[in-house]
Structure 1
């Protein structure tokens, strides 16, 4: 390809245990309790680190039903899990999902700040606002916060968390035993935040880590989600269906960031993919068809319904027009639901066709190692992605990606052969953020 991009693509590994589809847990090579088996996570995180992945990513959501996909039914809490990975690895980034709608900033700042120290600067926080309305009942609330308000709260929430991470200037602790000076009190700062949604005094009882503070990720794809990503994110995980939609998302997000005065290159866009690899394209396609056949239509209807707050699509005729769900609230996974509705209208899909298209992962990366590497290169050079989040469930698929696709990417200069830094910010080419109080004092001194 004649196109040129500076830098190399970034890779994340989504450690999804027994899988976010319904049939993956039946793989004979996969422990049936993988989602709660810390040894499985440690093993795969180390494999990803050996392959020079930039990060591992732990998905999460605070609501389930009996029909939820296996991994979500029985899984470890992300921060506890990542703390175990922090002491079991040394270079790979550690990113976990945590909601701004049902937590408090002080808790989040303390949890991720602690993970950042334990890992010596490798933590990342995937900021979500929680798509499923049923989560409200797990947190003592009768009603899920409105979509627009959730994103307003999230923006304020992240600002507060960053303020708490700045509670101490970097040289606040002289540790001067001879003169009995543990803390320079002038360099400890209370936040004293009072906003529309939150009131937080501070300071946080924790200093900044080697990377300043954890890397911020975000995954929303609605208009409000994209705007929040442009405002706060160092990286995004938003799902895309194909090359064209990925390019549209990429260009839109970067344009929004630029309009806000941010450097668009400081946001790393990592779509999630689930490659299926075999010796030949034909064999990989055959495997893909076989796996799709394992997902019966009822399970696909459940997966489709999740985007609409687990709406029961099983009540409608399968081979008639997609039902009119315009009366349903889009107060759940709004961006995903809107994308489904656009696709249904554009192609005049029946319910069965919609379930087959949207009731599972879209498989854009199926083929021989050369074919998959070439498709990754096309997306990267074509500004559809800065890298990819690779789903890790099937051990054989992950091995083929590490052992046969990555060497092709490395040979083409598209992926690194060694880590060039030790923190997640260094992996992603991000600067250490200034401490707001140190910057303020510098301005006072200059005056």
Structure 2
């Protein structure tokens, strides 16, 4: 009887992990649609190519080496020299893990859930450097980011190889406000710093010019896809479902995730109305995402009302952050640095309000470690790429659009000619 109970828990938890992983994978479509809607029509094909390509690169690099760096899992492909099976040992042994040890789900499902987080982190970079970066330079950076940079900072936090002081101060990041979102935003920031703004974005006096996206219905669809996918992102991070306590935790995480998104949307909408005198759809969409990012660090312990308040704080903050970055001439076409970076940091610092195991000092130190590691390594990689092949497409190519110069085809040929 006990064995049957364990088997049922193992099966349900594994299935839940896989479903949540599939929801997070669906966020790749959300990022693709959001970014395609917020760039100009002449850059649509290129941004879609980036999003599909980076997902494939992330999955492959994490399998080859990223998971090994992060968890010491033996996921390096074995047997290439000796002719043995290409199935990694860590995956082939998963069936026995659920009954006599700590694991209550297949390790293969754990890998799948982890790998889609890596792709999410890299997707954040894509929108921030849109409309002027060379496609293959971006892919080259994605190889290093997903295979090395992200896994190392993940090893220090989720991987159990904590920097000693972080461990002593109880750094906590439930589903990745800092580990995933702030890390991706930091890599994006370094790229934007070395890349420079889009031509025509700022006047000679430094004032920002609005460059409207080509398809706001598509951007709205992308936001709703991300909102849906986030239930898997945060809900799956409970790590199991098949007992009463875990089921209750999953339900609360879903509830708080949705509440924070709604709060972020409302606050951003009102803030934009007060500043601009009108509703601003792009700020509304970013408010949704800001609330989601902020609650990701701790979606379990707040009450639903407090989760809504946390989302509202993020919704206000993201509007002012986007405006501030424009004043600094940091050109981020989709607001990714503000949404995922600034609000990711906010999420980390909100954790101790409801989670007594975390400390503000530990949260701040963890954020600093993540930021410094990703910033330094990313700027080195971007710097090497800039020196060797250059980061930007030419001025003429930027004028005609990256679709033609990088991909040779337009997304909307009947409308752009």
Alignment TM-score > 0.5, same fold: no
Alignment TM class, shorter chain as reference: under 0.3
- Give the helix-richer structure, 1 or 2: 2
Larger radius of gyration: 1
Task: Between the two structures, name the one with larger relative contact order (CA 8 Å, sep ≥ 6).
Answer: 2
Q: TM-score, normalised by structure 1?
A: 0.26
| Structure with the higher strand share, 1 or 2 | 1
